[in-house]
Amino acid sequence: MSNNNQYDMLIVGSGPAGQKAALHAAQSGSRVALIEKTRELGGSCVHRGTIPSKTLRENALRVKNMRMNAELANFELPEDVELATLINRLNDVLLAHDTYMRRQLERSSVELIHGRARFISSTEIEVITVAGEKFSLTGECIVIACGSHPHHPDNIAIDHEHLFDSDSVLSMMYLPKSLIVLGGGVIASEYASIFQALGVEVTMIDKYPLPLGFLDSDLTETFVNGFKHMGGTWLGETVVTRAYWNGFDAVIAETEDGRQIKGEKLLCAAGRIANVKELGIENANLKLNDRGLISVDENLQTNILGIYAAGDVIGPPSLASASMEQGRRAACNALDMPPGIMHNIIPTGIYSIPELSSVGLSETQAREQYGRVLVGVARFDEIARGQISGIQNGMLKIVCDPAGKKVLGVMIVGEGATELIHIGQMALLSDARVDLFVESIFNFPTLAEAYRAAALDIVHQRKKL
């Protein structure tokens, strides 16, 4: 680190938001310090979230496919398989990622500081190192990108041994025989279906009737059916009043209606809260909103001039993809550089089994805004590629304006959804008419053909208007 402790920009947190902010600011010639409290770079995205869960998912898919092809190979996973073997490539993936990120930041002359940051004032930050040393840094501007951590409800006795959160769930030693998953959000749906695909008996419990409430119910129903088809149990409209280790052989989840649900392990995925406890934000006159998040304006600036925030710490969509863009934009705005147009058309990718993805308006949202809308649906089992690959429970849905012309949103459930969605995203970004999908020739056989089938569905409905 340089002796001079005066920087153009200080960034707290090296997750997707902080990294992109740092790179962008440094590449524009600013003197930038990136403060990260953990030894590793990359935030929860790299170490406790996206990458580990997706590494496990890859193997879960393999296991599921091997089981599905029982005629080809009579496959059964050994009973006492160690979880580490199912995320066997994780260390290599993480190491490669860490090396790449470190090099990229160093090449751009970002100063990396390992320590915990705490505001002293709105321009000064104190860093405390893991060895207990303290020093302070000042910045013309500051970007808070310190992410979030799992919320632990009071009535769920999380001990990281029998009852886990999403940070610790992959530290389990063995694949359990059964797992209770509390929650119906993205993380709960991903882990529930991944573990079910691995042969664990999963019971997913949530207070709402269906998981992933921000998606249309026909998509979530398809997901729930797929989950049940694999052997999973979905308990909607069920409130868990208490969950604990019975001290003997099981975790017990007690429900409001008097049931006791037993599992070997439990994962609590009850939302996330901003990592602000150690940040001393009051010293910078910053305030938290009523959801415990840092509020920002459309430029990602907080209520204090010169202090910006990006990523999970400002709340939804709480995605790595969105966090990166927010980080970049925060840096641009702070340094008075034009950030370019911010498209609020951000796709959501849910890496459950099967995958789900959406972009733009859902059918429900579109109806709220436009009244009557036209909706075209293509089912993957009606598409040649879907039949070949045995993808039965997939569908793609295009939502159009009342005239059946302008694309308002696309939603997909089925393997490949998170990649396929980008075709819809490009259509939305270029304000395309739905006819574009009919006029285009797609490779045959592909799942992307579903766009054409769904678009044709709309064109037919349009004729009847």
- Look up residue 457 and give its two tokens: 């569905």
Amino acid at 345: I
φ, ψ of residue 115 in degrees (nearest 5)? 175, 175
Sign of the CA dihedral with 259 first, then 273, 190, and 407 last: positive
Nearest CB to another protein, comparing residues 84 and 235: 84
Q: Which of 13, 176, 354, 386 binds ligand FAD (CB under 6 A)?
A: 13
Look-up of token digits 């209770």? 180
Q: Is residue 116 at the binding interface for ligand FAD, with CB under 6 A as the rule?
A: yes
φ, ψ of residue 42 in degrees (nearest 5)? 115, -15
Dist CA 54 CA 49 (whole Å): 8
Q: Which of residues 100-129 bind another protein (CB under 8 A)?
A: 116, 128
Q: Which of 34, 101, 117, 300 binds ligand FAD (CB under 6 A)?
A: 117
* Residue 247 binds which entry of another protein, ligand FAD, none, CB below 5-8 Å type-dependent: another protein
Q: Which residues pair with 248 in a beta bridge?
A: none
Window 171-190: contact mask with another protein (x via CB under 8 A): xxxx-xx-------------
* Residue 161 binds which entry of ligand FAD, another protein, none, CB below 5-8 Å type-dependent: another protein
Shortest spacing between CB 402 and another protein, in angstroms: 51
Q: Is residue 237 at the binding interface for another protein, with CB under 8 A as the rule?
A: no
Dist CA 188 CA 190 (whole Å): 6
Cα 172 to Cα 161, 188, 264, distances in angstroms: 7, 16, 11
Q: Which of 30, 123, 166, 302 binds ligand FAD (CB under 6 A)?
A: 166
Q: Annotate 124-177 with DSSP letters as a single string.
A: EEEEE-TTS-EEEEEEEEEEE---EEE---TTB---SSSEEETTTGGG-SB--S
Q: Count residues binding another protein (CB under 8 A).
A: 31
Nearest CB to ligand FAD, comparing residues 186 and 459: 186
Q: Which of residues 185-224 bind ligand FAD (CB under 6 A)?
A: 187
Q: Is residue 23 at the binding interface for ligand FAD, with CB under 6 A as the rule?
A: no
- Look up residue 231 and give its two tokens: 């052997």
Buried b / exposed e along 297-321 (16+ C-beta atoms within 10 A): eeebbbebeebbbbbbbbbeebbbe
Nearest CB to another protein, comparing residues 84 and 429: 84
Q: Is residue 352 at the binding interface for ligand FAD, with CB under 6 A as the rule?
A: no
Q: Which of residues 33-62 bind another protein (CB under 8 A)?
A: 37-39, 48
Shortest spacing between CB 168 and ligand FAD, in angstroms: 11
φ, ψ of residue 214 in degrees (nearest 5)? -80, -5
Stretch that binds another protein, among 4-12, 20-28, 170-178, 295-303 (CB under 8 A): 170-178
In residues, how long is the chain?
465
Over its C-alpha atoms, the chain yields an Rg (Å, rounded) of 24
Dist CA 177 CA 51 (whole Å): 24
Q: Is residue 321 at the binding interface for ligand FAD, with CB under 6 A as the rule?
A: yes
Q: Is residue 264 at the binding interface for another protein, with CB under 8 A as the rule?
A: yes
Q: Is residue 179 at the binding interface for ligand FAD, with CB under 6 A as the rule?
A: no
Q: Count residues binding ligand FAD (CB under 6 A).
A: 38
Dist CA 120 CA 142 (whole Å): 12
Stretch that binds ligand FAD, among 1-9, 31-39, 225-233, 300-308 (CB under 6 A): 31-39
* Residue 249 binds which entry of another protein, ligand FAD, none, CB below 5-8 Å type-dependent: another protein
Amino acid at 315: G
Buried b / exposed e along 25-42 (16+ C-beta atoms within 10 A): bbebebbbbbbbbeebbb
Counting Cα atoms < 13 Å in the Cβ hemisphere of 125 gives: 33
Taking a C-beta distance cutoff of 8 angstroms, is the pair 293, 315 a contact?
Answer: yes
Q: Which of 138, 168, 392, 418 binds another protein (CB under 8 A)?
A: 168
Shortest spacing between CB 459 and ligand FAD, in angstroms: 33
Q: Is residue 76 at the binding interface for another protein, with CB under 8 A as the rule?
A: no
Q: Is residue 96 at the binding interface for another protein, with CB under 8 A as the rule?
A: no
Q: Which of residues 251-290 bind ligand FAD (CB under 6 A)?
A: 275, 278-279
By DSSP bridging, strand 395-400 and strand 233-235 are: unpaired
Stretch that binds ligand FAD, among 33-41, 331-339, 386-394, 457-465 (CB under 6 A): 33-41
Residues that bind another protein in the complex, under the rule CB under 8 A: 37-39, 48, 79-80, 82, 84, 91, 116, 128, 130-132, 159-161, 167-168, 171-174, 176-177, 245-249, 264
What is the contact surface with ligand FAD in residues (CB under 6 A)?
A: 12-18, 35-38, 43-45, 49-50, 53, 116-117, 145-148, 166, 187, 275, 278-279, 311-313, 318-321, 323, 349, 351
